Amino acid sequence: MILTPCKKGPVLQPCTLPERNYQVDPYIGCEHYCYYCYALNQAETDWRKEVLIHKDITSQLEFELAGIPPQTIYMGWQTDPYQPCEAQCRQTRQVLELLLEKGFSASILTKSDLILRDADLLQKMSAASVSASVAFNDNQIRRLFEANTMDTEKRIEALRQIKKAGVRTGALLCPVIPYITDAIQLIDMLAPCTDVIWIYGLSIINRLDQNWLNMKKILNREFPDLLERIEPAIFSKEHRYWTELRDELVALKNDRQLNLNIRL
Ligand code: SF4
């Protein structure tokens, strides 16, 4: 993987999530390379080969944090802070060390169990939380849609260990791909090791977007018989697939008293 230093800034960006004012993405690009990723539509490099990194991220961030009251900073909105190159590059770890030193906490979303390396830092923060995003029950199918991520079970095991370490955990069940993702089964796997589960369907804005072109190619090749059922569901949230799944999830939430945020 080529890591190209860039002078893009600021590192600290506004965050649109509720209860979060700021976010940090230690990498610009993501070698996980999920073919459905909306951020791919604005990719400046081929993420399978080249990812950009902030030059001297800690000095830049330290400067930007000055004068901001300690709070929880979100990491993982645009790109994954624990993509494989983080094992050597340690951009994310450096950010966490700085946040801890300055009295901040981090709320992290990842598809990797590399986060376990940094549990020591997260444990010392006053309000850290970790979420894993998962979308596939079958790892053979996952590999078709996510070029370079790790098995679903490994992500869930990481959540279990993080929760055991006393850090709040969540899951992002996303994207639910109609007729491919078994959301109910994934919720069964995730519920014991998470405090909250957010559920989102695959969202494609425009049929010309790169992520839809990628998806369509895979669906055409691997699931040609399913494509004509999947495509109308992807482009209409009123499709029967979603209304039935919503009803099923609401019933599950009520029957089992699960903390599900259904955003389908
Ligand atoms: S892990 Fe997240 S940011 Fe990275 S390619 Fe996949 S969806 Fe995009």
E-state strands within the chain: 2-6, 12-14, 22-24, 27-28, 50-54, 72-75, 105-110, 129-134, 168-176, 196-201, 260-263
CB of 142 sitting under 6 A from ligand 1? no
CA of 257 to the centre of ligand 1 (A): 30
- Evaluate: CB of 32 within 6 angstroms of ligand 1: yes
- Could you read off the pLDDT of 112-168 as tens digits, one per residue? 999 999 999 999 999 999 999 999 999 999 999 998 999 999 999 999 999 999 999
Which residues partner with 109 through β-bridges?
Answer: 131
pLDDT, position 82: 98
Question: Between 183-190 and 152-164, two packed helices, what is the crossing angle to 10 degrees?
Answer: 30
218/33 Cα distance (integer angstroms): 14
The protein residue with its alpha carbon nearest to ligand 1, atom 3, reads: 79
The pLDDT, as a whole number, for residue 7 is: 81
- In this prediction, residue 205 has a pLDDT band, given cuts at 50, 70 and 90, of confident
Is residue 8 scored above 90 in pLDDT?
no
Residue 203's pLDDT is 84
Please tell me the predicted confidence (pLDDT) of residue 126. Answer: 98
Can you give the pTM of this predicted structure? 0.96
* pLDDT at residue 207 in the model: 92
pLDDT band at 55 (very low <50, low <70, confident <90, very high): confident
118 secondary structure, DSSP code: G
Q: Tell me the Cα Rg of the chain.
A: 19
Q: Is the CB of 34 under 6 A from ligand 1?
A: yes
Q: What is the C-alpha to C-alpha distance for residues 133 and 14, in angstroms, rounded to an integer?
A: 22
**pLDDT per residue over 82-98, tens digit each?**
999 999 999 999 999 99
Whether residue 80 has its Cβ less than 6 Å from ligand 1: yes
- Please report which helix (H) or strand (E) contains residue 189, including its range: helix 183-190
pLDDT higher than 90, residue 186: yes
Looking at every residue in the chain, the average pLDDT score rounds to: 96
